[in-house]
Amino acid sequence: METEITLQYGTDFKQSRVIHEEILSCHSQAARELFKRAKTLRDAYPVAHDLRKQLKGFILMCGSEKQFEASHSEKEARAQITHIYEHYPIPGHRNAIQLFVDEAIAEQVNKKNIIGPTTKNPLQKKDLKGMGIQLQLQSLNSKAVWTVTERLVSKLREIKHKERKDAKSSSVKAAAQHRIILPNTEDRVVRSLVQWIYCQGALNYDDAEHLYALRALATRLGMTELETQCLSKLATDTEDMIRLAISQGLTLQEVLGLGAEPEEGQQRVPASNLAEIVFQHVLTDKISPKRLLALVVRTLAEHLEPGLWRLLEPKITPTMSLRIIKAMLDHRQIKTDEAGDASVKSESVSTGDEHAMFALNEQT
């Protein structure tokens, strides 16, 4: 484990935890593919950093235009600008840098900050089109090269900050920067994820909301094993809890925390809010796990009452409403079919006489 990846989350992504790319990749095919896609850009960032640092070195070393000229640093600066112009490594920025440098050089030519005559047949902007970048820079005097150097350093700094900012919405750029950005994620959820990775699958959580959020984070990172473990725990425990609560006389409305306040001395609330959390997410989230969706729809089809429906209907989408109504109709049809089968069976139930007659016939 050599490659560190920083998980950034919280307000303005100021909270962070470090994990290792190699172990995350063991648990997530999606992570492996992401890091593979990010490799080219990841290799480009250090090169771009060194180019900017080297160019900035002329500014720091000389400190002023006068010292820059006195130290004759313009020759080395020209070579560095040329290299950046021709070989800047970050995709999507080289053309912008070339245009930026072209415009900066043209501005200095217009100001006559050039080597050679400035009055009789001086170099003009129109002459630059037929010249390569090296010749263009060689035509500039020390003052002009200093100015172009300063401006290009600022431009490269802007690109650096832009790439950092863009990484908040680009998982590939973030991965190339050894980061994974996790918006809307709590510290306790990230902590549980890291514990699961490094503690041999230990599933630690505080409450139902914590577990549900951990499942969502595992899904986002493509950690299938952790996602399945969380999902199984949520579904199994929710089913068991609802079954037990209803067997004890609670209504589904009470199980979901939507019942009236219990009277003094009466306990009409479930042992935990697990079912409430699961139902709340499934009924309101845009995308829900199929297993939990099926559980919620099936449970509502079996136990939905008018009072609970009035509470739920304003909160759910028309699509979800139709799904529940269809499930209720299917459930009613099954009940009707079962009742019909029971009626037929009751009409043909054996009294024992026919068996006695059969036995009698065998004896004769």
Six-digit token string for 299: 């449970």
Strands 179-182 and 4-9, sheet pairing = parallel
Which of 229, 167, 239 is CA-nearest to residue 192?
A: 229
Give the model's pLDDT for residue 344.
44
For the chain, residues with pLDDT lower than 70 are: 1, 116-128, 259-271, 333-364
pLDDT digits (tens, 9 = 90+) for 8-63: 999 889 999 999 999 999 999 999 999 999 999 999 999 999 999 999 999 998 88
Give SS3 for 86: helix
Q: Which of 85, 86, 59 is nearest to 73 (CA)?
A: 59
Q: What is the reported pLDDT for 117?
A: 58
The residue with tokens 């577990």 is 211
* pTM for the whole structure: 0.81
Give the C-alpha separation, 85 to 71, whole Å. Answer: 24
Beta strands 4-9 and 15-20, pairing class: antiparallel
Q: What is the pLDDT of residue 43?
A: 97
How many CB atoms lie under 10 A from the CB of residue 304?
A: 18
pLDDT one-digit tens code per residue, 157-175: 999 999 999 999 999 999 9
d(CA 85, CA 102): 10
pLDDT of residue 360: 27
The pLDDT value recorded for residue 334 is 56
Residue 360 backbone phi and psi in degrees, to 5? -65, -45
Res 358: pLDDT: 30
Structural tokens at position 57: 């070195």
Q: Output the six-digit token pair for 196.
A: 């699961």
Q: Identify the pLDDT of residue 355.
A: 37
Q: Tell me, what's the pLDDT at 83?
A: 97
